[in-house]
Amino acid sequence: MAEIPSILVLEPAAEQSQRRTAGIMVKKGPQLDLESLKAHLREIRQHSRDNHISLLEELKRNLDQYAGVKLAIATDAKQAASYIKQTAEGTDLASINKSSVVINELRPELQASGFKTYIRYFTEFKNFEKFEKKVEDYWALPGMHERGLVESFDVRKTVTRLRSSEVRDFVAILGVNAVSAEDGSVFFLQHMTNISKDLEQAKKIILVVSLEKVVKDRGAALFQTRCMGIFGLESILLDLGPKEVEQYDFDSLPTLSGDQGRELHILILDNGRKGLLKDGYKDLFLCLDCRACARQCPIGLHLLANKGMVYSPKNYLLGFLQGWLPPAEACVHCGRCQVECPVEIDIPTLLWKGQFEYYARHGRGLRKRLLDNPELLAKLGSWTAPLANWAKDRVIFKLIMQVVAGIHRQARLPTFHRQTLRKWAKGGRRG
């Protein structure tokens, strides 16, 4: 019996993937049938959602057979952070990957418990002499799928043992992309070398498995991880670039002698997910976290991304349902997230549902009532014009509108007319 389950790391298949990642990451390859990929992916995700209890039990049984694995289950992020703190045994330096589970859900609790966390992915940009960010906004994305341009992903590294001559004193906390219930094999997708280095160098390795990442078997896990790369490729470009605040030179840490104290932990995290299945949000379990839904979202750069979070409309909704974000008021319900989703999750409807349930429980305040009724505001402006037009440009009025209605003082308010379009259409121009 092997010491640990296989840990497989996938990368873009073409050579010099790192340089292409920093560039545009477009490769013209054989035409793939995207609709067939989506159909098979949806089948895998539906099986995972509908059988999550039996899959989790099967995974636990199989992981128990590996002598080199320490298995733990956390009901929420705080409990998970407490377990990691205990496991670290005094080490407060942590390398984390770009997993939304780790960054959005675990990192705040890790930092609150004293960890210094760094996203090693961003450290890799120091290896480029000059980096030029080519995509600033979603409308500048290349639209590769529409042009038949896709990327393929192959297994580039397989870890089957803990022994290493490069061990350093830090903790690696890595959110997995998929795990096979059948044999416990774990899959990652990487575009740089950060995950491979963490697996080779970290004294303590914590693999974080959120419930929806458990799939039927090794083949399903490999396919799901490849699809994450294929459908999430374009969204990666939106936040591609160096971030100095996240950089830490783990390579410069002194190597430890031998493999003394090296451990592999697999931490299964619920964090409210079972509750979502009961509360009408079960389709969120279909999500594979590819972030395709972020590709055309017009509000992404103005929300979590600027706060160091991993943004996607699904994460926006999940954060609200888990209680670390306010109601998703910024969503404009354009529906692009559903169009882009490879498994067609109806995120706009789920966002409406979340907002409706929240205000049904807590009621609507004055600001919410005003903004929910723009027709009333327009009528007030029309009835009081031209006084309203004089007042809307006064500083004191702008400040009042910011406090009362939440309209920023620098926002340009519309010009009101006594004669409305409706009156004009009915012949009111004669009056």
Compute the distance between CA of residue 314 and CA of residue 300 in angstroms, rounded to an integer.
11
Does residue 18 surpass a pLDDT of 70?
A: no
Burial 217-234 (b: 16+ CB within 10 A, else e): bbebbbbbbbbbbbbbbb
Which is it for strands 93-96 and 168-175: parallel, antiparallel or unpaired? parallel
Does residue 27 surpass a pLDDT of 90?
A: no
- pLDDT (mean) for 193-221: 96
- Among residues 65, 51, 225, 230, the alpha carbon closest in space to that of 150 is found at 230
**Number of residues that make up the chain:** 431
CB of 176 closer than 8 Å to CB of 188: yes
Long-range contacts of 163-166 (CB under 8 A, 24+ apart): 163/259, 163/262, 164/200, 164/201, 164/259, 164/262, 165/255, 166/200, 166/201, 166/255
- pLDDT (mean) for 163-192: 95
Share of the chain above pLDDT 70, in %: 86
- pLDDT (mean) for 333-339: 91
Which of 30-39, 189-198, 213-222 holds the top average pLDDT?
213-222
Compute the distance between CA of residue 26 and CA of residue 297 in angstroms, rounded to an integer.
21
Compute the distance between CA of residue 254 and CA of residue 263 in angstroms, rounded to an integer.
18
Cα 137 to the chain's mean position, in Å? 17
- Give, in order, the Cα–Cα distances in Å from 327 to each of 283, 320, 321: 19, 6, 9
- Give, in order, the Cα–Cα distances in Å from 378 to each of 273, 413, 418, 419, 429: 42, 11, 10, 12, 19
Which is it for strands 153-159 and 7-12: parallel, antiparallel or unpaired? antiparallel
Compute the distance between CA of residue 201 and CA of residue 94 in angstroms, rounded to an integer.
12
What is the pLDDT at residue 19?
A: 44
Residue 389's H or E segment, with its range, is helix 387-391
Using DSSP, state whether 70 is helix, strand or coil: strand
Q: Based on C-alpha coordinates, what's the Rg of the chain?
A: 25
pLDDT class of 143 with cuts at 50, 70, 90: low
What is the pLDDT at residue 104?
A: 94
Does residue 76 surpass a pLDDT of 60?
A: yes
What is the pLDDT at residue 57?
A: 97
Does residue 84 surpass a pLDDT of 60?
A: yes
Which is it for strands 263-269 and 69-74: parallel, antiparallel or unpaired? parallel
Which of 124-138, 190-204, 393-407 holds the top average pLDDT?
190-204
- pLDDT (mean) for 132-159: 70
Question: Which phi and psi angles does 46 have, rounded to 5°?
Answer: -65, -40
pLDDT class of 139 with cuts at 50, 70, 90: low
Does residue 431 surpass a pLDDT of 50?
A: no
Cα first-last separation, the chain:
91
Residue 322's H or E segment, with its range, is helix 313-322
Residue with the bigger pLDDT between 258 and 308: it is: 308
What is the pLDDT at residue 366?
A: 83
Q: What is the pLDDT of residues 85-135, one digit of tens each?
A: 999 999 999 999 999 999 999 999 999 999 999 998 887 776 666 666 666
Q: What tokens appear for 59 in the block? A: 């995974």
pLDDT class of 24 with cuts at 50, 70, 90: very low
Residue type, 130: K
Does residue 138 surpass a pLDDT of 70?
A: no
Residue 337's H or E segment, with its range, is helix 336-340
Q: What tokens appear for 164 in the block? A: 């290493």
Residue with the bigger pLDDT between 12 and 38: it is: 38
Q: What is the pLDDT of residues 159-169, one digit of tens each?
A: 999 989 899 99
Residue with the bigger pLDDT between 261 and 116: it is: 116
Compute the distance between CA of residue 375 and CA of residue 361 in angstroms, rounded to an integer.
25
**Mean pLDDT over the full length of the chain:** 86
Share of the chain above pLDDT 90, in %: 52
Q: What tokens appear for 255 in the block? A: 């190597």
Does residue 412 surpass a pLDDT of 60?
A: yes
